[in-house]
Amino acid sequence: MRYLITGGAGFIGSHLTERLLEQGERVVLLDNLSTGSMENIRHLKGSEHLEYHLDGIENRQLLAELVDDADVIIHLAAAVGVKLIVESPVRTIETNVNGTQLILEAACKKKKLLLIASTSEVYGKNTRVPFHEGADLVLGPTTKGRWSYAASKALDEFLALAYWKEKKQPVIVVRFFNTVGPRQTGRYGMVLPNFVKRALNNTPIEVYGDGKQSRCFCDVRDTVEALLRLIPLERAIGEVVNIGNTEEVSIENLAKIVKQRTNSSSPIHFVPYDKAYEPGFEDMMRRVPCIDKLHSLTGFRPQTSLAEIIDRVSAYFRQKEGLLADAATATRSVA
């Protein structure tokens, strides 16, 4: 099989690519590196089954060629992270909506199976947890830029399902719930890598708001496994499926667990949302997936414990710091 992955140099894309290559599949990556990084796929570049293009989806000619050669398309390219969304709402909306429309248009010409990544953010301010795929989407007002990401991804879903209903373009929509693991950057506000990096450096761990808001964190290996189980299933076409872990933790307790598991002396500081993001920022208090549909379709439930996830992320950053330190020592010795 030949897989085309948009956003393939990103966090999830790089892990998915790694797994597919291990299985002997051919993988083509398309990434403009706006949020992805060559560092994520550097260890894979020697594979004869990997091809990558540092370009954007808006290059229609290249996109058409890559889609034509692909058996399956996985669309992961998107604006990511709350910080980026708040700071660059135009980029968020245009990247998500325009990119999805272009990939749907290209895939539809050849009726290639297209899996589109969405997000738990689309549930918005709905308070009825756990979130079922058929639940109402309750978004805040358009005057709050924070909701532009949720609205753009919801529009992506509407568009994908419309292509399936009207044009019989095979699509699968997945909603990710806080996928985490090695290679995830905290650059755009991702909470776990930020907590772990600060804990390892014994600097203050910053918890936004009062820390009572809770989330569920899914190991990237489990996310990849769920994707690979969904792709071959004809009964998954035209469906929206949650992918996440159901182990819930408050952000305050997450900070405490990270501190404990890293043997850190970091103090925990609480930062008001207005200072962290923007005045009037709104957040969801709980975000818990119902994964019955995923289990019914695939027989799989993500189950990697939060403790193991934190240990994996900590090990990654320790190794990364060690490599940087070794490189710095080598540079000094040469000089």
Tell me if residue 323 falls in helix, strand or coil: helix
- Residue 131: partners with Cβ closer than 8 Å, 6 or more residues away: 120, 123, 242, 287, 288, 289, 290
Nearest alpha-carbon partner for 41 in 58, 59, 54: 54
**Contact indicator for 112, 70 with CB cutoff of 8 Å:** yes
- Residue 262: partners with Cβ closer than 8 Å, 6 or more residues away: 196, 199, 200, 310, 314
The active-site residue out of 149, 163, 188, 277 is 149
**Contact indicator for 243, 223 with CB cutoff of 8 Å:** yes
DSSP-derived secondary structure for 149-200: HHHHHHHHHHHHHHHHHHH---EEEEEE--EE-TT--STT--HHHHHHHHHH
Q: Tell me 245's DSSP state.
A: -
Residue 149 among the catalytic residues: yes
The half-sphere exposure of 48 on its side-chain side, counting CA atoms within 13 A, is 0
Asked if the peptide bond before residue 267 counts as cis, ω within 30 degrees of 0, the response is no
> Active-site residue numbers?
149
